[in-house]
Amino acid sequence: MSEIITKDNERVRGFFHSLERMLDKIEGVVTNHRPTLNGERFLTDAEVSERLKISRRSLQDYRSNGQIPYIQLRGKVLYRESDIQKMLDEGYRENFRQQLD
Residue-level length of the chain? 101
Give yes or no for residue 20 having a pLDDT over 80.
yes
**pLDDT number for residue 98:** 63
pLDDT in tens, 36-75: 677 888 999 999 999 999 999 999 999 999 999 999 988 8
More confident residue, 101 or 24: 24
Q: Which CATH architecture has domain 42-90?
A: Orthogonal Bundle (1.10)
Structural domain spans, the chain? 42-90
Contact (CB, 8 A) for 88 and 51: no
pTM (whole model) above 0.85 = no
Spatial separation of the C-alpha atoms in residues 61 and 34, rounded to whole Å = 26
Partnered with residue 44 across adjacent β-strands are: 78
